Chains A and B, each alone.
Chain A
Amino acid sequence: MNASSSGKARAASSSQPSDSSSKRKRGIFQKELQHMMYGFGDDPNPLPETVALVEDIVLEYVTDFAHKAQDMGSKRGKLSVEDFLYLVRKDAPKLNRCKELLSMQEELKQARKAFDVDEEKLAASLD
């Protein structure tokens, strides 16, 4: 892990995203956040400083969330998606959405697998 990637992990001592978000103005999520914020109710063109602040908050949220999941996981040996689900067990909308997304991903995976198998059968039958 080189030093530049550690910039994404926030110093544990701060409890508030800093007002000068210049430390993390990398804008890694900037484009998607603009669309997301509009979708959730902001103006069609959200203010750049607002997007930057939301990005800071989201980065901190994901960092703290993942650390907590890791604390759960370490008790059972390895980090797993179950640890993420456990952290939202009391938040019904988030939990349900996760289950929905995960089952969709599983369905897609199975569908792709079936497609590959069919292709092989077809290729074999043509020999």
Chain B
Amino acid sequence: MEEQMNRYESFRRSGFQKAAMKRLLVSVTGSQKVTMPMTIAMSGIAKMFVGEIVETARIVMSERKESGPIRPCHIREAYRRLKLEGKVPKRTVPRLSFARFSPTQL
């Protein structure tokens, strides 16, 4: 029972650090106008996505009758399934990202 409480506490309290998520969004969008609401929304969405990966990985493990900590092969299969379900944003066109250019090149 205590294990469940610990797990639940981890579930509730865990989250992506706001500063790091904001830095990531700024570097990806090449924009300084990344607001707190955007950071909060992205963090929430990303956390739920991690949940989908972990839950699917556990399903894969039970299908294979495996136990113990989740291994990368389970994650890879979970990721593949989530892509098939359309739960992963697709890369359409190779994007020009301003984040890749140094200031002198722009």
A32 close to chain B: CB less than 8 A: yes
Chain B interface, number of residues (Cβ within 8 angstroms): 69
> Chain A 68-80, CB within 8 Å of chain B: the 1/0 string?
1010000000111
Contact of B42 among A9, A38, A46, A65 (CB under 8 A): A65
Q: 21 A-B residue contacts at CB 8 Å?
A: A1-B98, A15-B91, A36-B47, A36-B50, A38-B7, A40-B11, A40-B51, A42-B54, A42-B57, A43-B68, A43-B70, A44-B6, A53-B76, A62-B42, A64-B88, A65-B89, A81-B38, A84-B41, A84-B45, A94-B48, A98-B41
Chain A interface, number of residues (Cβ within 8 angstroms): 60
9 other A-B residue contacts (CB within 8 Å) besides A1-B98, A6-B27: A3-B102, A8-B99, A13-B94, A42-B57, A42-B70, A54-B75, A79-B38, A80-B38, A81-B37
Task: Flag if A101 contacts B71 (CB, 8 Å).
Answer: no
CA distance A32 to B49 in the complex (A): 14
Task: Flag if B30 contacts A1 (CB, 8 Å).
Answer: yes
> Chain A 40-68, CB within 8 Å of chain B: the 1/0 string?
11111111011001100111011111111
B28 contacts which chain A residues (CB < 8 A)? 8-9, 62-63, 66-67
